Amino acid sequence: MGNKVFIYDTTLRDGSQAEEVNFSPEDKIRIARKLDEIGIDYIEGGWPSSNPTDENFFKDIKNYEFKHSKIAAFGSTHHPKLNVNTDDSFKKVLDADTDVITLVGKSWDIHVKEALKTTLDRNLEIIYDSIKAAKNKAKEVFFDAEHFFDGYKENKEYTMACIKKAYEAGSDCIVLCDTNGGCLTMEIKEIIEQVLKEFPEPEYGIHVHNDAELAVANTIVAVNLGIRHVQGTINGYGERCGNANLCSIIPNLELKMGLKCLPEGNLKKLTSLSRFVAEIANLSPFKRQPYVGESAFAHKGGIHVSAIMSNPRTYEHIPPEKVGNRHRVLLSDLAGKSNIIFKAKQFGLNLKKEDPIVLELLEQIKNLEMLGYEFSVAEASFELLLYKTLGKVRKYYELIGFRVLDAMQKEIEEPISEATVMVRVGGMLSHTAATGKGPVNALDNALRKALEGFYPNLKEMKLLDFKVRVLTPKDPEFAGTASMVRVFIESGDQKQRWITVGVSYNIIEASWKALQDSVIYKLFKDDREKGNGI
């Protein structure tokens, strides 16, 4: 039994089946590159024959080089009425041209009879032929034994026959699936023990869903029994109640069981990965998520605060830095000051509790967060606020005014967006206009046009992502289309990326605030690198 556990991420397929999650091909590529960066072993890109998004992903992903991860194409065993040469859907999986292919097949007799509407013997032929064909095409082939545990409980002999047939065909790993997510941990343990005793030859994997809130526990017990291939999703995203959450599984395996999942030093990237995927999915990160949640190491006044200030081990089961998280102190004045001081240190500033600037900044943050600002993601906006309060951000320009016009002449034509911006830079007025793909793009183009003559380095900056979230209103009068909205803008240049935030009931104003912070942050960080006035 080895010390290495191979992590197989299925966020791009199973995760995209979650309610409210919709990934574009570009989203999927960005997530895949982030997964490669942290060192995930296998990335399941999707089902090439199921939709255009997945087809485009497998075409586009060939343009990128992956340092660690292997890309897997997912598909089903061939149709009962066809064969590996006549089933176009099956052939598209092979034609995705990936080094890894994962095929899901029926292992519960009720599904064979009622879903596939074929005989038990025919299903065994389908499994064998499909894996054999995939093995001739890819370097590695995995077989997902769908509904394995439910099938084992009802017809052990047939379920075992399915995985034996997959092994005979050359499957490199037999993945035991709790597809309905309803098995208890003691059931998982007992069945895996019996399988390993009766049929120990294959390499086994585990794939469980979370319908009984046991996906992580069921995965851990499988690994404890010797399974070394683990499937799951980032943040546990998935259909119904979700899949096994890799953001909990990986640190449990590494920090509690001493097993290796990621390359050395990469576990500390886990929290940023969790929040990155949440933002791409346009979902609020779950604050109370173990290990990576904002509240995972948060403490509220009283004896907890005084204890962790002297020794964090008193109320924290691991050092949060190991997973890239941090401990937070909430609510009390002392706790708020400590939080400000801790964050300031990350930017190289040594503040003290008695500094008036700490109280001033604390008050500003509390007021802004009441409005809906979220600085844990938009760290560039927080950094600007910190330095502005310290009086260390110069006034790069003064806004005189802006106007955004949207016009639509005919229903069959695209709307026209135009923005005009007037700013004063060093006593000089700059008044420009620009069009764009939508009002925010037009506003971005107009602002850059107004400033690039004074600040040529803005040409290096690109707007990389734009997310809008409607905030839950505290007053019913401001619900629906009158709700406050929060806009996150991710920008970048050749050296780094940064995220800024804006909040308003007016989506254009919220976008302007985030856009303006993004531009000012670029100018500010370039000045700081040159040592200009910082």
Task: Please give the torsion angle defined by the CA atoms of residues 30, 36, 39 and 44, in that order, rounded to the nearest 10 degrees.
Answer: 90
Q: How would residue 350 be classed by pLDDT, with cut points 50, 70 and 90?
A: confident
Q: How far apart are CA 285 and CA 279, in angstroms?
A: 8
Buried-exposed string 419-437: b where 16+ CB fall within 10 A, e elsewhere: bbbbbebeeeebebbbebe
The CATH number for 234's domain is 3.20.20.70
Task: Please give the torsion angle defined by the CA atoms of residues 62, 65, 67 and 72, in that order, rounded to the nearest 10 degrees.
Answer: -10
Q: Which residue has the tokens 């707007």?
A: 463
Question: Among 336, 339, 337, which Cα is nearest to 327's?
Answer: 339
Q: DSSP secondary-structure letter at 315? A: T
How high is the pLDDT of residue 158?
98
Domain annotation covers residue 307: no
Whether residue 356 sits in one domain with residue 253: no
In this structure, of 330-339, 440-449, 474-483, the range with the lowest mean pLDDT score is 330-339
Domain annotation covers residue 526: yes
* CA 279, chain centre distance (Å): 7
Whether residue 364 sits in one domain with residue 512: yes
pLDDT at 305 over 60: no
Point out the domain boundary residue: 263, 284, 305. 263
pLDDT at 358 over 50: yes
How high is the pLDDT of residue 336?
63
How high is the pLDDT of residue 534?
53
Whether residue 141 sits in one domain with residue 13: yes
Whether residue 230 sits in one domain with residue 363: no
pLDDT at 301 over 60: no
pLDDT at 303 over 80: no
Top mean pLDDT of 199-203, 299-303, 528-532 is at 199-203
How high is the pLDDT of residue 481?
60
Whether residue 219 sits in one domain with residue 87: yes
Whether residue 251 sits in one domain with residue 392: no
Whether residue 224 sits in one domain with residue 367: no
* 414: its two tokens: 């695209």
Domain annotation covers residue 287: no
Q: In the predicted model, what is the mean pLDDT of residues 229-243?
A: 97
* C-alpha distance from residue 202 to each of 164, 165, 168, 169, 285 (Å): 9, 11, 10, 12, 38
Whether residue 375 sits in one domain with residue 254: no
Q: Which domain holds residue 167?
A: 6-263
Top mean pLDDT of 303-307, 341-345, 387-391, 478-482 is at 387-391
Whether residue 355 sits in one domain with residue 246: no
How high is the pLDDT of residue 412?
64
Point out the domain boundary residue: 234, 263, 292. 263
Kindly report, residue by residue over 172-194, the tens digit of the pLDDT.
999 999 999 999 999 999 999 99
Please indicate whether residue 74 or residue 299 has the higher confidence score (pLDDT): 74
Domain annotation covers residue 448: no
Question: Among 519, 366, 354, which Cα is nearest to 452's?
Answer: 519
Question: Among 103, 104, 199, 211, which Cα is nearest to 148's?
Answer: 104
How high is the pLDDT of residue 302?
41
How high is the pLDDT of residue 407?
86
Whether residue 232 sits in one domain with residue 350: no
* 37: its two tokens: 């960066």
Q: How many domains does the chain have?
A: 2
* 500: its two tokens: 């800024």
Please indicate whether residue 298 or residue 394 has the higher confidence score (pLDDT): 394
How high is the pLDDT of residue 342?
67
Whether residue 353 sits in one domain with residue 215: no
pLDDT at 17 over 90: yes
Domain annotation covers residue 280: no
Q: In the predicted model, what is the mean pLDDT of residues 480-484?
A: 69
Domain annotation covers residue 414: no
Kindly report, residue by residue over 25-67, the tens digit of the pLDDT.
999 999 999 999 999 999 999 999 778 889 899 999 999 999 9
How high is the pLDDT of residue 368?
86
Q: How far apart are CA 358 and CA 321, in angstroms?
A: 24
Domain annotation covers residue 186: yes
Q: How would residue 250 be classed by pLDDT, with cut points 50, 70 and 90?
A: very high
Residue 503 backbone dihedrals phi, psi, to 5 degrees: -135, 135
Q: How would residue 480 be classed by pLDDT, with cut points 50, 70 and 90?
A: low
Q: Which residue has the tokens 């000012």?
A: 520
Kindly report, residue by residue over 106-135, the tens digit of the pLDDT.
999 999 999 999 999 999 999 999 999 999
DSSP H or E run through 114: helix 109-114
Task: Please give the torsion angle defined by the CA atoms of residues 89, 94, 100 and 105, in that order, rounded to the nearest 10 degrees.
Answer: 40
Point out the domain boundary residue: 216, 237, 263. 263
The CATH number for 531's domain is 3.30.160.340
Reduced to 3 states (helix: H, G, I; strand: E, B; else coil), residue 177 is strand
Whether residue 34 sits in one domain with residue 122: yes
Reduced to 3 states (helix: H, G, I; strand: E, B; else coil), residue 69 is coil
Q: DSSP secondary-structure letter at 472? A: P
Mean pLDDT of the chain: 90
Task: Determine what percent of the chain is predicted with pLDDT higher than 70.
Answer: 92
Domain annotation covers residue 328: no
Kindly report, residue by residue over 257-287, the tens digit of the pLDDT.
999 999 999 999 999 999 999 999 999 889 8
pLDDT at 310 over 70: no
Q: Which residue has the tokens 């009931």?
A: 505
